[in-house]
Amino acid sequence: MRFIEDILRRVPEFNEFMSVSELYESSRALAGEFKDVVELVDYGDSRVSGFPVEALIIRGGEGRRVLAFGFPHPNEPVGSLTLEFLSRVLASDRGLLKSLDATWIIVKVADVFGAKLNEGWFKGAFNICKYALNYYRPPAYMQVEWSFPIEYKSFKWSKPTIETKALMRIIDEWKPTHIYSLHNSFFAGTYYYISKALSEDVLKLFRDVPRRYNVPIHMGEAEAPYVEKICDAVFRMPGLREMYDWLEKYLGRDPSNLIEHGGSSYDYAKRVNPDVFELVCEVPYIYDYRLNIDIPIGVPRRDILRISHRKNKMLFEDFEKDFERISKYMSADNPFYEALSYTKRVMKPHLEAEERWIETAPELSESATVAQAFDAYLNSYISYIFRYGLMYRAIRYEMIKGVSSRDLEETQYLSLKKLEDGANELNRLSNYYTIPIKHLVSIQLAAILLSLTKA
């Protein structure tokens, strides 16, 4: 742990996120400065001309082959700074590089197209409305992390995105022993997904390190009902198979036609190397201390989730009306409308399955904690804010091209108002604070090094 402490002390202050161009320029500079150990390799095009999916190959030994990639989702830039710092440390500290005995394959930007559509909130102080009005997350079938080819039961997916194909080439060539997909959440504590068991000592450090930076671990509900909890803030790596089985169980029918995306990087990588270890470290942008209060409130989780579910249904029905009003004005190349359309298609069956799960799952009879109740209720507002940020951007996209109508003008005004109302409600219900980026980078960096050296 001593060498990890030394590295963490070197993490600089990050006051804002780097743009895609800045990250690419930095990679070129690193490869030029340390030519003896660093190579910059083009693994294929992205959806943005002139910005291929690039990997820094940093050769420090043959013992392990470590793939680490940032921007697995385009609204999640923390990992790009983690890799920005880590790549320079590895290249410049030859003692460290040799001691880790690994070849590193570092992709700072996996989703180039989506990252560029989020750049409007990367600079300056964090603000929820600024974030939402510059937020973009593609439909799942266009997500780099969720479009890997996979077959399971009656389901088959064979339409990887162009960026996913680049990651597939990397995985096929290097057959990684370790993969770090560097995600970050929005409003939660720190939590982890792991693909295989780690020692109790490492799991304890996973929980202790965030607390050192005043970033508590996540004690609320899991990200999805089918996610298996290993211990506080640590979960078994979920994949498409777990989602499929959960939908099949609670819908009572074959869900193949409801799943509009492929597998994850882990789903694909374990076909190439069955012993691969993958870790996802999710760190938040904002936090509220109540998400760390693990005290039972005497109300069953089922009752809390019923309230949250009803709220989600009501907000979604409101969204559907606005969506229908603008649909006839939307063009096929509108990325924001594409994301909204996906939400509209998949949300209903997921709400249906979730309702049956809430009513039948025996574990939901236990008392909810403060963290679980707070998390469940606020998440509906967060989804609401993001949906209306996308709707505002979808309308603006058409207006910039010259499309004009009263429907668009009124719905754009309503979108902005609903987004602001949702943000105001979040502000009213929560005393959240923004976490320094340096702390988030440090947590992700510690997770990588702990799992790599102590697993």
Domains observed in the chain: 2-127+143-288+435-454 (3.40.630.10), 295-431 (1.20.120)
Token duo for residue 393: 């951007």
Taking Cα atoms as reference points, which of 249, 186, 195 lies closest to residue 220? Answer: 186
The SS3 assignment for 195 reads coil
pLDDT recorded at residue 455: 61
Query: CA 265 to CA 261: how far, in whole Å?
Result: 13
Q: Which of 293, 432, 287 is nearest to 369 (CA)?
A: 293
pLDDT score at 329: 98
Residue count (the chain): 455
- Strands 433-434 and 286-287, by their bridges, are antiparallel
pTM metric for this prediction: 0.94
Of 136, 2, 133, the residue nearest 71 (C-alpha): 136
Taking every pair of Cα atoms in the chain, the longest distance, rounded to a whole number of angstroms, is 65
Residue 106: closest CA among 217, 185, 203, 26 = 26
DSSP state of 193: E
Tokens linked to 30: 């690193």
pLDDT of residue 383: 87
User: Residue 426: which of 221, 316, 287, 282 has the closest Cα?
Assistant: 287
Quote the distance between the C-alpha of residue 165 and its chain's center. 19
Task: Decide: helix, strand or coil at residue 409.
Answer: helix
How many angstroms separate the CA atoms of 392 and 409, rounded? 10
Q: Which helix (H) or strand (E) holds 105?
A: strand 102-107
Residues 233-275 pLDDT 10s: 999 999 999 999 999 999 999 999 999 999 999 999 999 999 9
Per-residue pLDDT of the chain (455 residues; tens, 9 = 90+): 788 999 999 999 999 999 999 999 999 999 999 999 999 999 999 999 999 999 999 999 999 999 999 999 999 999 999 999 999 999 999 999 999 999 999 999 999 999 999 999 999 988 899 999 999 999 999 999 999 999 999 999 999 999 999 999 999 999 999 999 999 988 888 999 999 999 999 999 999 999 999 888 988 788 889 999 999 999 999 999 999 999 999 999 999 999 999 999 999 999 999 999 999 999 999 888 888 888 999 999 999 999 999 999 999 999 999 999 999 999 999 999 999 999 999 998 989 999 999 999 999 999 999 999 998 888 878 888 999 999 999 999 999 999 999 999 999 999 999 999 999 988 898 988 999 999 999 999 999 999 998 76
Of 53, 118, 183, give the one whose Cα is nearest residue 390.
118
Assign 165 to helix, strand or coil: helix
Q: What is the pLDDT of residue 186?
A: 87
Please report the pLDDT score of residue 2 as a whole number.
85
Contact present, 291 and 219 (Cβ < 8 Å): yes
Q: To which H or E segment does residue 378 belong?
A: helix 370-400
